[in-house]
């Protein structure tokens, strides 16, 4: 299968509280992707990269050592973030970071391979294309207060959106991009989330096997909402496919 372009990386520059100037960057989502669907099975997850024969996300702890302002609070596969089809592409990978004690200044500039122009491929044989790369920054949040109260925190850009909608997370402003970003100043408590490598699907979504969808819901690869609205499959509260209702919906 031909593979789509993917990959997010970022550069940092800042001034610590003591006046020390520094710069860094990260390429975790450039050097490890999921892959597109095959004509006979789903795409693999987090194990492939066109320019890197040894796909590798690197060590999270090493990244935090070299970039102490960016604390990783989430690195996971993002549900529904894939090209759907009879066989779906591998789920994209999302990272969420909390900006911690940046000192006098911190600026982040993000590279995204989809470039805001949409994916090059349109899926194969009726399959859906992979979604664009995603960059989200939430500024002036209440994350410090949530952590002080022992609360949990969002782990990807989807959860940031859901938490904002529910009112659990508050933010003075939110910026969202589907391509490269300008230099963006960040402060303590800001959230920085990126996602990439959501690859294209193969075949008609209405031909996807019920068992595969049930398995997807079980392992949180897709949500019950997407199972119904995209695949035409009704899933009960226990994650089991309701065959009669699904047959009628399809």
Q: If you write DSSP's letter for every residue of 77-91 in order, what string do you get?
A: EPTT-S--SSBPPPP
- Taking residues 82-91, report their average pLDDT: 95
CA distance linking residue 10 with residue 174, whole number of Å: 18
Share of the chain above pLDDT 70, in %: 95
Share of the chain above pLDDT 90, in %: 72
Nearest alpha-carbon partner for 118 in 9, 5, 8: 5
pLDDT at 96 over 60: yes
Q: How many CA atoms lie within 13 A of 201 on its CB side?
A: 23
pLDDT at 56 over 80: no
CA distance linking residue 63 with residue 132, whole number of Å: 25
Instruction: Write the pLDDT tens digit of every residue in 162-197.
Output: 999 999 999 999 999 988 999 999 999 999 999 998
Instruction: Write the pLDDT tens digit of every residue in 192-217.
Output: 999 998 889 999 999 999 999 999 99
Exposed e or buried b per residue across 16-35, where buried means at least 16 C-beta atoms within 10 angstroms of its C-beta: beeeeeeeebbbbbbbbbbb
Contact assessment for residue 103 and residue 16, using Cβ atoms and an 8 Å cutoff: yes
Provide the token pair at 154. Answer: 């969002």
Nearest alpha-carbon partner for 186 in 76, 103, 250: 103
Burial class (CB in 10 A: 0-12, 13-18, 19+), 224: middle
Instruction: Write the pLDDT tens digit of every residue in 125-138.
Output: 999 988 889 999 99
């Amino acid at each position: 299968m031909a593979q789509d372009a993917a990959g997010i990386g970022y550069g940092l520059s800042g001034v610590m509280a003591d006046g020390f100037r520094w710069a860094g960057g990260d390429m975790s989502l450039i050097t490890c992707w999921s892959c597109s669907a095959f004509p006979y099975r789903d795409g693999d997850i987090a194990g492939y990269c066109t320019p890197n024969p040894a796909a590798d996300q690197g060590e999270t702890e090493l990244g935090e050592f070299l970039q102490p302002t960016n604390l990783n609070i989430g690195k996971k596969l993002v549900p529904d973030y894939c090209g759907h089809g009879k066989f779906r592409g591998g789920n994209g990978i999302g990272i969420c970071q909390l900006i911690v004690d940046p000192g006098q200044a911190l600026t982040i500039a993000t590279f995204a391979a989809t470039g805001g122009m949409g994916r090059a491929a349109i899926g194969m044989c009726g399959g859906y294309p992979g979604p664009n790369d995603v960059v989200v920054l939430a500024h002036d949040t209440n994350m410090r207060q949530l952590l002080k109260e022992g609360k949990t925190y969002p782990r990807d850009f989807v959860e940031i959106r859901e938490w904002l909608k529910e009112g659990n997370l508050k933010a003075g402003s939110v910026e969202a991009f589907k391509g490269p970003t300008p230099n963006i100043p960040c402060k303590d408590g800001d959230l920085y989330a990126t996602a990439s490598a959501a690859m294209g699907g193969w075949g008609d979504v209405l031909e996807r096997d019920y068992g595969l969808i049930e398995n997807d819901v079980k392992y949180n690869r897709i949500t019950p909402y997407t199972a119904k609205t995209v695949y035409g499959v009704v899933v009960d509260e226990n994650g089991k496919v309701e065959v009669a209702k699904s047959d009628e919906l399809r």
